[in-house]
Chain A
Amino acid sequence: MAKYRIGIDVGSTNTDVAIVDEKGRPYYTSKVATTPDVTTGILKALEKAAKESGVSPDDIAAVMYGTTHGLNAIITRRGLYKVGVIRIGLPATTAIEPMLDWPPDLRKAVGNLYVLVEGGFEYTGEEISPLDEDKVRKAAEKFKREGVDSVAIISVFSPVRPDHEYKAAKIVSDVLGDIPVSLSSSIGSIGLLERENATILNAAIIGVMKRSISAVRNTMDKLNLTSAKLYLAQNDGTIISAEMAEKYPIFTVAAAVSNSVRGAYVLTGLKDAIVVDTGGTTTNIGVLEKGFPRESSSPVVLGGVRTSFMMPDFVSIGVAGGSIVKQEDNKVTVGPESVGYELITKGIAWGGNLITATDVALALGRMRIDDPRCNPDLAKAKIPRDLAEKAYEYIIRKIEEGIDKVKTKPDPMPVVLVGGGSAMLPRSLQGASVVIRPEGAQSANAIGAATALIGATVEKTYNYEQVDRKNALEDAKSEAKRRAVESGADPGSIEVAFVEEISMPYLPGNIVKVRVKAVGKAKL
Chain B
Amino acid sequence: MLMGEYKLSKEDVEALAIGAAILGTGGGGDPYIGKLMVTQVLEKGKDIILVPPEDIPDDSFIITSAFMGTPITLIEKLPSGLDALRALKALENYFNRRADYITPVEAGGLNSTIPLYVGGLTGRPVLDGDGMGRAFPELQMVTFHLYGIKATPMSLADEKGNSVILDTIDNIWAEKIARVVTIRMGGWASIAIYSMYGSQYKKAVIPHTITKAIEIGKAVREAKSHGKNPIDAVIDATNGYRLFEGKMVDVSRWIVAGFAKGEVTIEGLNDYKGKTMKIKFQNENLVAEVNGEIVASVPDLIVVLDLETGEPITTERHRYGYRVAIVGIPCDEKWRTPEALKVVGPRYFGYDIDYIPIEERIKAIGE
Contacts and interface: CB of A to CB of B under 8 A. Distances in A.
Interface of A: 89-97, 100-101, 120, 122-124, 128-129, 156-157, 190-193, 298, 401, 404-410, 504-508
B72 A507 contact: yes
Nearest to B37: A95
Contacts of B247: 404
Nearest to B186: A122
B353 interface: no
B71 to A, nearest CB: 8
Nearest to B247: A404
B77 A120 contact: yes
Contacts of B159: 91-92, 128
A101 B80 contact: no
Main SS class of interface, A: loop
A506 B320 contact: no
A12 to B, nearest CB: 23
B183 A93 contact: no
Nearest to A504: B72
Given A100-B39, A156-B77, A91 B160 contact: yes
Contacts of A91: 80, 82, 159-161
B78 A505 contact: no
Nearest to B160: A91
Given A505-B255, A507-B187, A405 B321 contact: yes
B183 A95 contact: no
B238 interface: no
Nearest to A191: B75
A93 B75 CA distance: 10
B237 interface: no
B40 A128 contact: no
Nearest to A122: B186
A405 B320 CA distance: 8
B78 A93 contact: yes
Contact of B80 (A95, A190, A406, A504): A95
Contacts of B70: 505-507
Contacts of B223: none
B33 interface: yes
B258 A506 contact: yes
B36 to A, nearest CB: 5
B136 interface: no
B183 A508 contact: yes
A90 B322 CA distance: 40
A129 B80 CA distance: 13
Nearest to A124: B186
A92 B74 CA distance: 10
Interface string B327-340: 00000000000000
B367 interface: no
Given A95-B40, A401-B323, A408-B320, 10 more contacts: A91-B159, A94-B80, A94-B81, A95-B81, A122-B77, A123-B73, A124-B186, A129-B160, A405-B321, A505-B72
B177 interface: no
Contacts of A406: 321
Contacts of A96: 33, 36-37, 40, 78-79
B77 A89 contact: yes
B260 interface: yes
Nearest to A158: B76
B201 interface: no
Interface residues on B, range: 35 or more
A408 B320 CA distance: 5
Given A96-B37, A190-B75, A507-B187, A407 B81 contact: no
A87 to B, nearest CB: 9
A433 B76 CA distance: 42
B78 to A, nearest CB: 4
30 contacts: A89-B78, A91-B161, A92-B80, A92-B159, A94-B80, A95-B37, A95-B80, A95-B81, A96-B37, A96-B40, A96-B79, A100-B40, A101-B36, A123-B73, A128-B77, A156-B77, A190-B75, A191-B75, A191-B76, A192-B77, A193-B36, A401-B323, A404-B321, A405-B321, A407-B321, A409-B320, A410-B249, A410-B320, A505-B260, A507-B72
Nearest to B183: A508
Interface string B55-74: 00000000000000010110
B319 interface: yes
A79 to B, nearest CB: 28
A26 B187 CA distance: 54
Interface in B9-58: 33, 36-37, 39-40, 43
Contacts of B249: 410
B194 interface: no
A235 B78 CA distance: 29
A506 to B, nearest CB: 4
User: 7 closest Cβ contacts across the A-B interface?
Assistant: A95-B81, A93-B78, A506-B70, A92-B159, A95-B79, A122-B186, A96-B36
Contacts of B82: 91, 94
A411 to B, nearest CB: 10
Contacts of B144: none
B321 A92 contact: no
A191 B78 CA distance: 9
Most chain B CB neighbours (cut-off 10 Å) among A91, A92, A298: A92
B1 to A, nearest CB: 26
Contacts of A190: 72, 75-76
A408 B33 CA distance: 29
A97 B36 CA distance: 9
Interface string B302-319: 000000000000000101
A505 B187 CA distance: 11
B101 interface: no
A95 B72 contact: no
B281 interface: no
A14 B119 CA distance: 54
Interface string B244-257: 00010100000100
Nearest to A505: B260
A100 B77 contact: no
Nearest to A405: B321
A120 B78 CA distance: 11
Contacts of B320: 407-410
A128 B36 contact: no
A404 B307 CA distance: 15
A30 B70 CA distance: 53
Nearest to A190: B76
A94 B187 CA distance: 18
A123 B186 contact: yes
B266 to A, nearest CB: 13
B58 to A, nearest CB: 34
A190 B74 CA distance: 10
Contacts of B323: 401, 405
Contacts of B161: 91
A191 B72 CA distance: 8
A96 B38 CA distance: 9
Contacts of B39: 100-101
Interface in B80-97: 80-82
Most chain A CB neighbours (cut-off 10 Å) among B78, B117, B186, B323: B78
Nearest to A407: B321
Given A100-B36, A101-B36, A101-B39, A92 B319 contact: no
A3 B320 CA distance: 44
B47 to A, nearest CB: 18
Nearest to A298: B317
A240 to B, nearest CB: 27
A379 to B, nearest CB: 31
B276 to A, nearest CB: 13
A438 B351 CA distance: 53
A70 B75 CA distance: 27
Contact of A408 (B80, B117, B260, B321): B321
A146 B18 CA distance: 39
